[in-house]
Amino acid sequence: MSKNYPHPEMRSIPGYREIEFPNAVNVQRLMQFRPYVRQSGNTLRGPWHLATRRLLDFLLVYVGSGNGRFTVNGRTFEVKADDLIWVPPDTPHEMRGFSPKMHCVYLHFDVRYSPERSHWDACIPGGVMDLMPWKEFMHPPVSDPVLGQLCGKLNGENVGRIRTRMENICRVHRSGRDGADAMLSGMMLELLMEIIGGVTTTAPMPFHHHKLREAAEFIKENAEKGFCSKQLARRCSLSESHFRKLFRELHGITPAAMRRQQVMKKACELLVYSDKPISEIAEILGFHSIYAFSRAFTATMRISPRQYRKGQTPPFVAL
């Protein structure tokens, strides 16, 4: 590969030094990957159903909680917390959620940006299967040896980090800030490389990873009540220190940080979607006083609970 790079005349430029060049696959990725986020969502929904359809772009869905049944390209599988689903363009898929509350994070995106094709919000309704009238707007095939083969439910050791990246992308995308498109392209590139580096459609998960995912689900469901790391470690048949290490490697966050994250998410929901007094919200979330809650919320969100309830926009925070 190096014999083709750089152009021979570049060697005569003052200050030129030989460098190690990317391999052939990564050269193609550098030339091909120009991600663009069309649409995003981080939602909590009741029982739902999306009839079989096809899309013009890519769709990535992370299931944060709840359960359902998805069919992608003829393969049907049950989905639950921490499952990740990849739907390529022009691929038939049906999605159904069964839980009273199901948390889903999703991204509609292009791997390769095109000003003629990408500026559309991708809201194709269920039941639409014939996209031939708009075939010129279909995302072209991706020749990458990993991304080009992904379809359906993904397995891997880094789903937690992928989830965190997806949630952060949703926040920036919804902010509408100046320069967000360029920022999102870089964030999506990091997400794609995270996927390339750690997921497959066939690899089985190590046994303790299932236990660690169960531990994460327990933390999410009991965030207000707190938890004992030692007890969670015992349930995973691990020492407490090893549990914390493996938990962070899998989920990209410590157990304590995940609990704080979930408490703040619940706080945001209660502040926006309920009329409960802030003192009552503090009590619900397990704080001994409204002042302790206000300090914790402001330290995390960089805005007070009262300001957040009034609709003032906080700076970007990676919860």
Question: Is the same domain home to 60 and 145?
Answer: yes
Question: Is the same domain home to 235 and 284?
Answer: yes
Question: Is the same domain home to 217 and 183?
Answer: no
- Residue 53 sits in which domain range? 35-200
Q: Tokens in use for 12? A: 């005569």
Under a CB-based contact definition with an 8 Å cutoff, are residues 166 and 105 in contact? yes
Question: Is 16 among the domain residues?
Answer: no
Question: Is the same domain home to 161 and 63?
Answer: yes
Question: Is 228 among the domain residues?
Answer: yes
Question: Is the same domain home to 40 and 178?
Answer: yes
Question: Is 4 among the domain residues?
Answer: no
- The helix/strand/coil state of 113 is coil
Question: Is the same domain home to 242 and 155?
Answer: no
Domain boundary among 183, 200, 217: 200
Question: Is 64 among the domain residues?
Answer: yes
Closest CA relative to residue 257, chosen from 270, 246, 244, 272: 244
Domain boundary among 184, 200, 216: 200
CA angle 255, 61, 203 (to 5 degrees): 75
Q: For residue range 64-102, what is the model confidence (pLDDT) as tens digits?
A: 889 999 999 999 999 998 899 999 999 999 999 999 989
Evaluate if residue 203 carries a pLDDT over 70: no
Question: Is the same domain home to 96 and 179?
Answer: yes
Count of domains forming the chain: 2
Q: What is the CATH number of the domain that holds 275?
A: 1.10.10.60
The pLDDT value recorded for residue 69 is 96
Domain boundary among 200, 220, 245: 200
pTM value surpassing 0.75 = no
Question: Is the same domain home to 182 and 224?
Answer: no
Whole-angstrom distance, CA of residue 124 vs CA of residue 109? 13
Q: For residue range 216-257, what is the model confidence (pLDDT) as tens digits?
A: 888 888 888 877 888 888 888 888 888 888 888 777 788 888
